[in-house]
Structure 1
Amino acid sequence: MIINHEKNIKSKEFTSPEVKGASMKAIISPKEGWEGHVMRVMEIEEGGYTPKHSHDWPHINYMLEGKGTLLLDGKENEVEAGSYAYIPKNALHQFKNVGKGKFKFICIVPEEGHK
Protein backbone atom coordinates (compact mmCIF):
# COMPACT_ATOMS: atom_id res chain seq x y z
CA MET A 1 0.00 0.00 0.00
CA ILE A 2 1.20 3.50 -0.76
CA ILE A 3 -0.17 6.98 -0.23
CA ASN A 4 1.88 9.83 -1.59
CA HIS A 5 1.70 13.01 -3.67
CA GLU A 6 2.93 13.55 -7.20
CA LYS A 7 4.99 16.58 -6.09
CA ASN A 8 7.22 14.17 -4.13
CA ILE A 9 8.21 12.19 -7.26
CA LYS A 10 11.23 13.24 -9.32
CA SER A 11 10.59 13.94 -13.03
CA LYS A 12 12.53 12.23 -15.80
CA GLU A 13 13.15 14.58 -18.73
CA PHE A 14 13.11 13.10 -22.22
CA THR A 15 16.20 14.17 -24.16
CA SER A 16 15.69 12.63 -27.60
CA PRO A 17 15.80 14.94 -30.67
CA GLU A 18 12.25 13.70 -31.50
CA VAL A 19 10.91 15.13 -28.21
CA LYS A 20 10.43 18.70 -27.03
CA GLY A 21 9.59 19.74 -23.46
CA ALA A 22 8.27 16.37 -22.23
CA SER A 23 8.85 14.70 -18.87
CA MET A 24 7.49 11.74 -16.91
CA LYS A 25 6.95 10.70 -13.30
CA ALA A 26 6.50 7.00 -12.49
CA ILE A 27 3.83 7.11 -9.77
CA ILE A 28 2.86 3.46 -9.20
CA SER A 29 4.85 0.46 -10.43
CA PRO A 30 5.80 -3.06 -9.37
CA LYS A 31 8.21 -1.36 -6.93
CA GLU A 32 5.14 -0.09 -5.05
CA GLY A 33 3.31 -3.40 -5.43
CA TRP A 34 1.35 -3.06 -8.70
CA GLU A 35 2.63 -6.11 -10.53
CA GLY A 36 2.65 -5.94 -14.31
CA HIS A 37 1.78 -2.25 -14.83
CA VAL A 38 3.10 1.26 -14.34
CA MET A 39 1.05 4.44 -13.90
CA ARG A 40 2.93 7.52 -15.03
CA VAL A 41 2.15 11.22 -15.11
CA MET A 42 3.38 12.86 -18.30
CA GLU A 43 3.92 16.62 -18.64
CA ILE A 44 4.44 18.48 -21.89
CA GLU A 45 5.48 22.11 -21.84
CA GLU A 46 3.84 24.77 -24.01
CA GLY A 47 4.73 24.03 -27.64
CA GLY A 48 6.18 20.63 -26.71
CA TYR A 49 5.51 17.11 -27.95
CA THR A 50 6.31 13.44 -27.54
CA PRO A 51 7.92 11.50 -30.40
CA LYS A 52 5.82 9.93 -33.14
CA HIS A 53 6.20 6.29 -32.23
CA SER A 54 4.61 2.87 -31.89
CA HIS A 55 5.40 -0.12 -29.69
CA ASP A 56 4.34 -3.69 -28.93
CA TRP A 57 2.06 -2.82 -26.00
CA PRO A 58 -1.16 -0.85 -25.56
CA HIS A 59 -1.63 1.99 -23.11
CA ILE A 60 -4.38 3.99 -21.49
CA ASN A 61 -4.32 7.77 -21.10
CA TYR A 62 -6.41 10.17 -19.02
CA MET A 63 -5.90 13.91 -19.52
CA LEU A 64 -5.52 15.91 -16.30
CA GLU A 65 -4.77 19.46 -17.35
CA GLY A 66 -4.27 21.67 -20.38
CA LYS A 67 -5.06 21.16 -24.06
CA GLY A 68 -3.37 18.92 -26.55
CA THR A 69 -3.68 16.78 -29.60
CA LEU A 70 -3.24 13.06 -29.90
CA LEU A 71 -2.16 11.83 -33.31
CA LEU A 72 -3.59 8.32 -33.64
CA ASP A 73 -3.93 6.32 -36.85
CA GLY A 74 -3.03 9.39 -38.93
CA LYS A 75 -5.70 11.65 -37.38
CA GLU A 76 -5.08 14.59 -35.01
CA ASN A 77 -7.61 14.39 -32.16
CA GLU A 78 -8.16 17.30 -29.78
CA VAL A 79 -7.92 16.33 -26.11
CA GLU A 80 -8.27 18.27 -22.85
CA ALA A 81 -8.74 17.66 -19.13
CA GLY A 82 -11.28 14.84 -18.78
CA SER A 83 -10.52 13.27 -22.17
CA TYR A 84 -9.26 9.69 -22.26
CA ALA A 85 -7.80 7.38 -24.87
CA TYR A 86 -6.91 3.74 -25.40
CA ILE A 87 -3.94 3.34 -27.73
CA PRO A 88 -3.68 -0.18 -29.17
CA LYS A 89 -0.33 -1.90 -29.53
CA ASN A 90 1.61 -0.98 -32.68
CA ALA A 91 -0.52 2.14 -33.33
CA LEU A 92 1.50 5.18 -34.43
CA HIS A 93 0.82 8.01 -31.96
CA GLN A 94 2.08 11.37 -30.68
CA PHE A 95 0.93 13.87 -28.05
CA LYS A 96 1.38 17.64 -28.52
CA ASN A 97 0.65 20.57 -26.24
CA VAL A 98 -1.43 23.06 -28.23
CA GLY A 99 -2.62 25.21 -25.33
CA LYS A 100 -1.27 27.67 -22.77
CA GLY A 101 0.62 26.26 -19.81
CA LYS A 102 1.34 22.58 -19.22
CA PHE A 103 -0.45 19.66 -20.83
CA LYS A 104 -0.55 16.86 -18.28
CA PHE A 105 -1.94 13.33 -18.47
CA ILE A 106 -1.82 9.90 -16.88
CA CYS A 107 -0.33 7.09 -18.96
CA ILE A 108 -0.77 3.47 -17.82
CA VAL A 109 1.43 0.89 -19.54
CA PRO A 110 2.33 -2.76 -19.02
CA GLU A 111 5.58 -3.13 -17.08
CA GLU A 112 7.55 -3.93 -20.25
CA GLY A 113 6.44 -0.56 -21.69
CA HIS A 114 8.11 1.47 -18.96
CA LYS A 115 11.75 2.38 -19.52
Structure 2
Amino acid sequence: MRKIHRTDVKAEIVREPGAKDALHRKLIDTPDGADRFVLTEFELSPNGSTPPHYHDWEHEIYIIEGSMGLVMPEQNLTEQVGPGDVVFIPRNEAHGFVTGTDQTCRFLVVAPCERPPVRNFFLSDDPYEYTQLPEYANSLGDK
Protein backbone atom coordinates (compact mmCIF):
# COMPACT_ATOMS: atom_id res chain seq x y z
CA MET A 1 0.00 0.00 0.00
CA ARG A 2 1.08 3.57 -0.62
CA LYS A 3 -0.49 6.67 0.93
CA ILE A 4 0.60 10.19 0.02
CA HIS A 5 -0.84 13.69 -0.12
CA ARG A 6 -1.29 15.26 -3.55
CA THR A 7 1.12 18.07 -2.65
CA ASP A 8 3.86 15.48 -2.07
CA VAL A 9 3.82 14.86 -5.83
CA LYS A 10 5.64 17.35 -8.01
CA ALA A 11 3.37 19.32 -10.33
CA GLU A 12 4.76 19.36 -13.85
CA ILE A 13 3.94 21.51 -16.87
CA VAL A 14 1.91 19.72 -19.53
CA ARG A 15 4.26 19.79 -22.51
CA GLU A 16 1.98 18.43 -25.22
CA PRO A 17 1.57 20.32 -28.52
CA GLY A 18 -0.82 23.22 -28.04
CA ALA A 19 -1.21 22.87 -24.23
CA LYS A 20 -1.47 26.18 -22.40
CA ASP A 21 -1.22 26.94 -18.68
CA ALA A 22 -1.80 23.31 -17.69
CA LEU A 23 -0.14 21.29 -14.91
CA HIS A 24 -0.35 17.63 -14.01
CA ARG A 25 0.62 15.47 -11.02
CA LYS A 26 1.09 11.74 -11.52
CA LEU A 27 -0.55 10.68 -8.25
CA ILE A 28 -0.34 6.94 -8.95
CA ASP A 29 2.02 5.76 -11.66
CA THR A 30 3.92 2.66 -12.75
CA PRO A 31 7.00 3.43 -10.59
CA ASP A 32 4.60 3.20 -7.61
CA GLY A 33 3.70 -0.35 -8.58
CA ALA A 34 0.56 0.39 -10.61
CA ASP A 35 0.28 -2.23 -13.31
CA ARG A 36 -3.19 -1.59 -14.74
CA PHE A 37 -4.22 2.04 -14.22
CA VAL A 38 -2.58 5.40 -13.53
CA LEU A 39 -4.20 8.35 -11.76
CA THR A 40 -3.24 11.88 -12.80
CA GLU A 41 -4.46 15.20 -11.43
CA PHE A 42 -4.64 18.05 -13.94
CA GLU A 43 -4.90 21.76 -13.17
CA LEU A 44 -5.86 24.39 -15.72
CA SER A 45 -5.28 28.11 -15.04
CA PRO A 46 -7.50 30.81 -16.54
CA ASN A 47 -7.36 30.62 -20.34
CA GLY A 48 -5.67 27.23 -20.03
CA SER A 49 -6.13 24.25 -22.28
CA THR A 50 -5.14 20.79 -23.30
CA PRO A 51 -5.64 20.77 -27.05
CA PRO A 52 -8.00 18.43 -28.86
CA HIS A 53 -6.39 15.04 -29.35
CA TYR A 54 -7.28 11.36 -29.47
CA HIS A 55 -5.57 8.08 -28.65
CA ASP A 56 -6.06 4.33 -28.50
CA TRP A 57 -7.17 4.24 -24.87
CA GLU A 58 -10.12 5.49 -22.88
CA HIS A 59 -10.21 8.08 -20.10
CA GLU A 60 -12.33 8.32 -16.99
CA ILE A 61 -12.43 11.90 -15.65
CA TYR A 62 -13.72 13.35 -12.37
CA ILE A 63 -13.97 17.13 -11.83
CA ILE A 64 -12.75 18.04 -8.32
CA GLU A 65 -13.12 21.84 -8.33
CA GLY A 66 -13.65 24.72 -10.70
CA SER A 67 -15.11 24.41 -14.16
CA MET A 68 -13.99 24.08 -17.75
CA GLY A 69 -15.18 23.36 -21.23
CA LEU A 70 -14.97 19.80 -22.53
CA VAL A 71 -14.13 20.24 -26.21
CA MET A 72 -15.56 17.63 -28.59
CA PRO A 73 -14.35 18.65 -32.07
CA GLU A 74 -16.08 15.80 -33.92
CA GLN A 75 -19.44 17.12 -32.67
CA ASN A 76 -18.31 20.77 -33.03
CA LEU A 77 -19.33 21.18 -29.38
CA THR A 78 -17.90 22.44 -26.09
CA GLU A 79 -19.81 21.40 -22.96
CA GLN A 80 -19.22 22.98 -19.54
CA VAL A 81 -18.36 20.60 -16.69
CA GLY A 82 -17.92 21.34 -13.00
CA PRO A 83 -17.41 19.82 -9.53
CA GLY A 84 -18.77 16.31 -9.20
CA ASP A 85 -19.18 15.78 -12.94
CA VAL A 86 -17.86 12.50 -14.31
CA VAL A 87 -16.85 12.10 -17.96
CA PHE A 88 -16.09 8.92 -19.90
CA ILE A 89 -14.15 9.36 -23.14
CA PRO A 90 -13.99 6.23 -25.30
CA ARG A 91 -10.82 5.28 -27.17
CA ASN A 92 -10.17 7.22 -30.39
CA GLU A 93 -12.69 9.97 -29.57
CA ALA A 94 -11.19 13.44 -30.03
CA HIS A 95 -11.36 15.59 -26.90
CA GLY A 96 -9.70 18.53 -25.18
CA PHE A 97 -10.22 20.85 -22.24
CA VAL A 98 -10.32 24.64 -22.01
CA THR A 99 -10.87 27.24 -19.28
CA GLY A 100 -12.16 30.76 -19.80
CA THR A 101 -10.79 34.04 -18.47
CA ASP A 102 -12.41 33.58 -15.05
CA GLN A 103 -12.18 29.79 -14.82
CA THR A 104 -9.76 27.35 -13.24
CA CYS A 105 -10.26 23.63 -13.00
CA ARG A 106 -8.72 20.71 -11.14
CA PHE A 107 -9.66 17.21 -12.28
CA LEU A 108 -8.57 13.58 -12.08
CA VAL A 109 -7.90 11.34 -15.06
CA VAL A 110 -7.72 7.54 -14.90
CA ALA A 111 -5.97 5.87 -17.84
CA PRO A 112 -4.53 2.41 -18.44
CA CYS A 113 -0.86 1.76 -17.68
CA GLU A 114 -0.31 -0.55 -20.57
CA ARG A 115 -1.60 1.32 -23.52
CA PRO A 116 -1.74 0.05 -27.06
CA PRO A 117 1.25 1.30 -29.02
CA VAL A 118 1.46 4.86 -27.75
CA ARG A 119 -0.07 7.00 -30.43
CA ASN A 120 -1.40 10.37 -29.34
CA PHE A 121 -2.82 12.39 -32.20
CA PHE A 122 -2.77 16.09 -31.38
CA LEU A 123 -4.88 18.34 -33.52
CA SER A 124 -2.50 21.26 -32.97
CA ASP A 125 0.99 22.08 -34.15
CA ASP A 126 1.39 24.93 -31.65
CA PRO A 127 4.07 24.59 -28.95
CA TYR A 128 2.96 24.17 -25.35
CA GLU A 129 2.79 27.37 -23.28
CA TYR A 130 2.93 28.02 -19.56
CA THR A 131 2.63 31.58 -18.29
CA GLN A 132 1.16 31.47 -14.79
CA LEU A 133 0.76 29.42 -11.65
CA PRO A 134 -2.76 28.55 -10.53
CA GLU A 135 -3.48 29.90 -7.04
CA TYR A 136 -3.90 26.37 -5.68
CA ALA A 137 -0.59 25.03 -7.10
CA ASN A 138 1.38 25.41 -3.92
CA SER A 139 4.44 23.38 -4.91
CA LEU A 140 5.88 23.06 -8.37
CA GLY A 141 9.48 22.18 -7.87
CA ASP A 142 10.18 21.30 -4.26
CA LYS A 143 8.45 17.94 -4.02
Normalised by the length of structure 1, the TM-score is 0.89
Q: Secondary structure at the match of 1:10?
A: coil
Q: CA RMSD in A?
A: 1.8
- The match for 2:7 is 7
Q: Secondary structure at the match of 1:31?
A: helix
Query: 8 Å contact 2:37–2:110 — kept in the other structure?
Result: yes
- The match for 2:49 is 49
Deviations 1:60-114 (A, max 9, x none): 0000111101013422111001111000000000111136353110000011459
Q: Secondary structure at the match of 2:7?
A: helix
Q: Secondary structure at the match of 1:50?
A: strand
By how many angstroms is 1:13 displaced? 0.4
Query: 8 Å contact 1:66–1:99 — kept in the other structure?
Result: no
Q: Kindly tell me: are residues 79 and 12 of structure 1, through their superposed partners in 2, closer, same or farther at Cα, counting changes over 3 Å? A: same
Bigger relative contact order (CA 8 A; separation at least 6): 2
Unaligned runs of 5+ in 2: 119-143
- The match for 2:80 is 78
Query: 8 Å contact 1:28–1:38 — kept in the other structure?
Result: yes
By how many angstroms is 1:34 displaced? 2.4
Report the structure, 1 or 2, having the larger strand content: 1
Normalised by the length of structure 2, the TM-score is 0.73
Q: Kindly tell me: are residues 16 and 29 of structure 1, through their superposed partners in 2, closer, same or farther at Cα, counting changes over 3 Å? A: closer
Unaligned runs of 5+ in 1: none
1:98 to 97, 100, 113: 100
Deviations 1:42-68 (A, max 9, x none): 011111100110000001000011110
- The match for 1:25 is 25
Bigger CA radius of gyration = 2
How many pairs does the alignment contain?
Answer: 114
Identical counterparts, % of pairs: 28
Query: 8 Å contact 2:35–2:114 — kept in the other structure?
Result: no
